Structure 1
Amino acid sequence: MHPGHPHRSSANRPSLILAALGIVYGDIGTSPLYTLRECFGEHLGLQPTEANVLGVLSLIIWGLLLVVSLKYLLFVLRADNRGEGGILTLQTLIRQVLGSKGLWLAMLGLMGGGFFYGEVVITPAISVLSAIEGLEIATPAFKPYVLPLSLAVLIALFAIQHKGTARVGKLFGPVMLLWFATLGVLGLLAIIGNPEVLKAFNPYWAIHFMLVHKLVGFLALGSVVLALTGAEALYADMGHFGRQPIRLAWFGYVLPALILNYLGQGALILSDPATRANPFYHLAPDWALLPLVGLATMATVIASQAVISGVFSLTRQAIQMGYLPRMEIQYTSDREMGQIYIPLMNWGLLLAVILVVNFFGSSSALAGAYGIAVTGTMVITTLLTCTLAWRSWNWSLWLVAPLCIALLCIDVPLFSANLVKIFAGGWLPLLIGVMVFTLMTTWRRGRTLLHQHLTRVAIPLERLVDNLETYPPARVPGTAIFMSPSITGVPHALMHNLKHNRVLHERVFFLTIRNEDLPYIEDERKIRIEQLSPTFWRIQAFYGFREIPDVQEILDLCEDHDIHFDLLQTSFFLSRETLIQTPVPGMAAWREHLFIWMNRNANRATDFFRIPANRVVEMGAQIEF
């Protein structure tokens, strides 16, 4: 078992189920705070009649059953890469199966990754705002303080990210256990007072609602989908907990609690239509309102923490897969590789969240922006997973095609209903998604073109090694390790060292670090060593997309091959590339400028690969691009 990869045996399944409650279900678990309120908001004009309440409740219940339970829990979770999930993992699997033929599907996967960033900007804002808005129910005097209190909670949350979630994470499971129990109990008490809402289990009411209201019913789907936000997290977090704990937590605890609460809110609205302004908080008796606001705030902070951690994981994965430039990545736990902190993403996300909170001002206004990124990713996930089932799992096309059509008949209307909200704020996640997609595709294309250029002009490595062994320059004691992006070409740093210093160390190693389309690489397969001549060696190190390359680890693994390094006698040589734009065809001029800017601001290789700074020699190189 690779270090950092969770051991998911049946012995620790209860703890994994509890942890899944805290991490996986934070987002979807806080949706009752605002979903039904938005369904009966003024923008739709729906009256709280029995037929309307039962219709909306039926849509929510069957959405949870069909989208979350059937599609994600039972179908999409089958698509894993050695236990890992997420939209970029799905995109990787498609590339492995279809190759260049699946390019447009792979691009859709990248767009789904971009949509995730758009969703993450909104999730902390709408969750925390909706929780603290409960203070207005206690007394309207709190209204002026909702926005500053929300900002204070969010700033505090982002400010403690560098400390890691290991300690706080231990509270996540128990707090969410209490949260879902509270949801269920509050809902059940209201249902006892008005059991008529149990009719909502009959899909007739959902169909009747859509047929009667037509356009308004279609628009209402844009609010109903708020109950499904966070479904992608089930897939993305599969690598942390495994399929079974996630499924057991959902079917055994989360789903019943959510359905009870939604039914309870519906029963309350039928009993007192005035409560539709904020039915969740009206479920609580007066004495429990402030404690409920506190618990809701904790739950929304946990939901926000989960998506922030998701951003860190997705960003690391994108860096390793070559879609984003190197960034500073800090480990916040000595035990778990999954617990990381990326300062640039953290502060950038905080700035975006602050701007969003101030621009929209309330959770109701943010609900207009929420959903379009979620449903867009849902459509993409359906297309990719069904393609994978057909081409990789060898499912019959006669089974996959009807399944795909059935799922799209749910996803596409949800996405279309949210497209209507573009001018109400839906443009925001779309804009963020397009921006991230542009950055990822530009970086990937730029690195490909740069690698092709360097390969084309590089001197063959074996030829130079033979020449240096035959006509050696002055040799000095010690070991030189040249970092090289290619295993066949001579690194720029070596040529510059020979040109300017005219010496060579007595032992020379060429180190190439290669990223694989797997989450982890076992230690016994991590390095490959070839001796090119009596004094030259080539080392290839292989890392998965959930790992961060570590030069010291590579050197330690070389010990198993009887190659020993003394760091005090070892120097690392790297090329620091300065790109110069030229009219040579490749990318559009604006994309070349963007790629050059990204390359210039990428984290230094010495920091990213954890090379001891006092052992590094950087050689500058200008490359016409």
Structure 2
Amino acid sequence: MAKHSHRESMAALTLGALGVVYGDIGTSPLYTMKEVFGPSSHINLDPANLIGAVSVIFWGLMMVVTLKYVLLILRADNRGEGGIMALTALAAKAAGDTGKRRTALLLLGVFGAALFYGDSVITPAISVLSAVEGLEVVTPAFKPYVLPICAAVLISLFAMQRFGTAVVGKIFGPVIGVWFVVLAVAGINQIMQEPVILTALNPWHAVRFLSQQGWHVFVVVGSIVLALTGAEALYADMGHFGKRPIQFAWTTFVLPALALNYMGQGALLMRQPEAVDNPFFYLFPPALLLPAVVLATLATVIASQAVISGAFSMTKQAVQLGLLPRMAVHFTSAKEAGQIYMPEVNWVLLVAVLLAMVGFGSSSAMAAAYGIAVTITMLITTLLTFFVIRQGWKLPLPVAIVATTVFLTLDGFLVIACSLKFFQGGWFPLVLGLGIFTIMATWRRGRELLIESIRQDDPQLLPFITALSHDSIHRVSRTAVYAVANPSTVPQALMHNLKHNQVLHERNLIVTVVFHDVPWIAFDERVQLEALVPGFWKVQINYGFKNTPDVPKALELCKAQGLSINLFETSYFLSREIVVPTKGHGMGHWRESFFALMARNSGSVAGFFKLPNNCVVELGTRVQI
């Protein structure tokens, strides 16, 4: 029975991985071959080039996805979690106490995370556009309606985010499963009519094709890389499904379906070169063309959903790591903590996606923007993996070098190839990523300056409360919780309470919430309690960057350490700092002003830490940075 249950669980996880993990890379056949042999590539549409190009795509999938991600990088899990944020934390930890190296790795990882948002904008736009453009194959009369239909689909998709993905998620796997079956069957149908395309499995054809291109090879590879976008999702979603289901789905289902479809498109173009304007949809007979467009649209919506959900998760992790201001987080499932909705992120993403779609106008124009952000993220992933292999796994230096040099060379080649499209649209995701990186760096540095300023201006905590313990100040029989960023100085809210109310509570907790660079913190490690003087305790609450902070629930854990807290008789005192930018040695004045703006508009501390609204007292203070 245990084996039967394990098989059922494995099957369910594999089906779920199909829907979430492989939606992006699974929709790449919609536009890849069209761009490889499009007018801008200047490649002759002859059998030798078709076999060569398909061979490069197939062996690119084998090298980048199968060898790099499925076999190597999926091993680099951070307590079961994957993705560039988890890998950055793992690499920084592996770097040890080498401060400069640790900082450099953190900056590298943060930049890679920032580039993810560029992918989050382009993926929905290019995927849905390429699917709906199939209507032009049905009849050219649909062409004026492609953009409005795409806009309606995307607006509906983003509008539904607030309801959560629990219901829709159940059909993700089956729909994408049908999609991959259709990819394989459509490909096999064409291969049977032109079986010579199967020679593309010989890597020699890929080598010969690339060598014949000369310096033009970078232009060609810049289009072929479209077949590899979405590879990062294998690693990013490891925590949701586990390593085995993702590996199993790729090797037994996704890779064969993609390979058959790309070879099918190559076989089709051998017989019908005129189909090059949209070879994917010409795989289908006229009677099945409209159902194929509908299925492709559903598949691209699912691929977009995965990226949008990823943006929510990435933002939540970035907030908890101190890289972004607090934002409202709505949990859309009572069972799955990972299913969240963030309104600000959702609507900013929608506006960016619509602007990108209208600005570029077609999937072919957008293809130039696609790839550069993804390949730079791939390169960063490989660099971070080197430090995990060498310092984290303690493998010999030659092994670490051999394991990553090939992939670094390949990633570098892909980055150079995509960089040639910088002025054709490649600048778009880079500018977007650099903007997000600037926001993250400004927020993190601004918080450091703010804490330094508070530390300088406020008295030290221990001498202050020691003096209070000998004072005859009136005490009330309740518990006061002072949430602070710096536990070594007196909370501003405590000083305001003494100054204006002239009372002190019987039990006073100086609470600091610390987010660590690991995904999860267990309950037995969640709270650290330290008695200071009679009536005062210092409490540190620890969370991983994937934990959901809940301070009242965490305070209940103090009972196991000898401090029982009645939450119905507890008041939460918060200090809201009003940031005043000044010219000095901190940051540039514009960055300080920008930080002050973000601080004023950041989300509620009470809401973020799940504090009861009727028990919160918020006191403001002006702080110069």
Q: TM-score range by the shorter chain?
A: over 0.9
Aligned AA for 2:45?
P
Superposition pairs for residues 106-255 of structure 1, below 5 Å? 106-255=106-255
**Cα drift, residue 466 of structure 1:** 1.5
* Mapped partners of 1:161, 1:472: distance in 2: 56
> Is 1:497 matched up with 2:494?
no
> Which residue of structure 2 aligns with residue 5 of structure 1?
none
Q: Is the 8 A contact 2:20 2:306 kept in 1?
A: yes
Moved more, 528-537 or 132-141: 528-537
Aligned AA for 2:602?
A
Gaps of 5+ in 1: 1-7
> Which residue of structure 2 aligns with residue 469 of structure 1?
469
* Mapped partners of 2:100, 2:18: distance in 1: 39
* Mapped partners of 2:439, 2:477: distance in 1: 44
**Cα drift, residue 215 of structure 1:** 2.6
Deviation string 1:280-333 (CA, Å, 9 cap, x unpaired) is 101111111111111111100000000000001111111111111111111011
> Which residue of structure 2 aligns with residue 578 of structure 1?
578
Could you say what secondary structure the match of 2:599 adopts? Answer: helix
> Which residue of structure 2 aligns with residue 622 of structure 1?
622
**Cα drift, residue 513 of structure 1:** 0.9
* Mapped partners of 1:496, 1:423: distance in 2: 56
* Mapped partners of 1:558, 1:104: distance in 2: 37
> Which residue of structure 1 aligns with residue 24 of structure 2?
27
Aligned AA for 1:234?
L
**Cα drift, residue 476 of structure 1:** 2.0
* Mapped partners of 1:10, 1:502: distance in 2: 65
**Cα drift, residue 417 of structure 1:** 1.0
Q: Is the 8 A contact 1:87 1:381 kept in 2?
A: yes
Q: Is the 8 A contact 2:582 2:589 kept in 1?
A: no
**Cα drift, residue 408 of structure 1:** 2.1
User: What is the aligned-residue identity percentage?
Assistant: 51
Match 1:17 to one of 14, 19, 25? 14
Match 1:75 to one of 72, 75, 82? 72
Q: Is the 8 A contact 1:35 1:226 kept in 2?
A: yes
**Cα drift, residue 562 of structure 1:** 5.2
Q: Is the 8 A contact 2:94 2:387 kept in 1?
A: no
Gaps of 5+ in 2: none
Q: Is the 8 A contact 2:120 2:307 kept in 1?
A: yes
* Mapped partners of 1:94, 1:449: distance in 2: 26
Superposition pairs for residues 582-597 of structure 1, below 5 Å? 582-597=582-597
> Which residue of structure 1 aligns with residue 354 of structure 2?
354
* Mapped partners of 1:618, 1:44: distance in 2: 61
**Cα drift, residue 555 of structure 1:** 3.1
* Mapped partners of 1:112, 1:608: distance in 2: 26
**Cα drift, residue 114 of structure 1:** 1.1
* Mapped partners of 2:115, 2:466: distance in 1: 51
**Cα drift, residue 261 of structure 1:** 0.3
RMSD over aligned CA atoms reads: 1.4
Aligned AA for 1:91?
T
> Which residue of structure 1 aligns with residue 438 of structure 2?
438
Q: Is the 8 A contact 1:210 1:218 kept in 2?
A: no
* Mapped partners of 2:500, 2:622: distance in 1: 16
Aligned AA for 1:395?
L
Could you say what secondary structure the match of 2:421 adopts? Answer: helix
* Mapped partners of 2:7, 2:390: distance in 1: 31
Deviation string 1:321-367 (CA, Å, 9 cap, x unpaired) is 11111111110111111001111000000000011111111111110
Deviation string 1:71-113 (CA, Å, 9 cap, x unpaired) is 1111111111101111111111222122413222321211111
> Which residue of structure 1 aligns with residue 93 of structure 2?
96
Could you say what secondary structure the match of 1:325 adopts? Answer: coil
> Which residue of structure 2 aligns with residue 64 of structure 1?
61
- Structure 1 residues 247, 472: CA separation in 2 closer, same or farther (over 3 Å shift)? farther
> Is 1:46 matched up with 2:43?
yes
* Mapped partners of 2:506, 2:264: distance in 1: 77
* Mapped partners of 1:219, 1:169: distance in 2: 38
**Cα drift, residue 458 of structure 1:** 3.0
* Mapped partners of 2:73, 2:379: distance in 1: 12
> Which residue of structure 1 aligns with residue 82 of structure 2?
85
**Cα drift, residue 402 of structure 1:** 3.1
**Cα drift, residue 548 of structure 1:** 2.2
* Mapped partners of 2:72, 2:621: distance in 1: 50
* Mapped partners of 1:552, 1:298: distance in 2: 42
Aligned AA for 2:86?
T
Q: Is the 8 A contact 1:582 1:624 kept in 2?
A: yes
> Which residue of structure 1 aligns with residue 546 of structure 2?
546
* Mapped partners of 2:409, 2:571: distance in 1: 60
* Mapped partners of 1:472, 1:324: distance in 2: 43
* Mapped partners of 2:94, 2:454: distance in 1: 29
> Which residue of structure 2 aligns with residue 328 of structure 1?
328
Q: Is the 8 A contact 1:29 1:180 kept in 2?
A: yes
> Which residue of structure 2 aligns with residue 410 of structure 1?
410
Q: Is the 8 A contact 1:112 1:376 kept in 2?
A: yes
**Cα drift, residue 69 of structure 1:** 0.4
Could you say what secondary structure the match of 2:280 adopts? Answer: helix
* Mapped partners of 1:97, 1:609: distance in 2: 30
**Cα drift, residue 561 of structure 1:** 4.0
Q: Is the 8 A contact 1:493 1:619 kept in 2?
A: yes
**Cα drift, residue 396 of structure 1:** 1.8
* Mapped partners of 1:399, 1:480: distance in 2: 55
> Which residue of structure 1 aligns with residue 280 of structure 2?
280
Number of equivalent positions: 618
* Mapped partners of 1:304, 1:13: distance in 2: 25
Aligned AA for 1:488?
S
Could you say what secondary structure the match of 2:540 adopts? Answer: strand
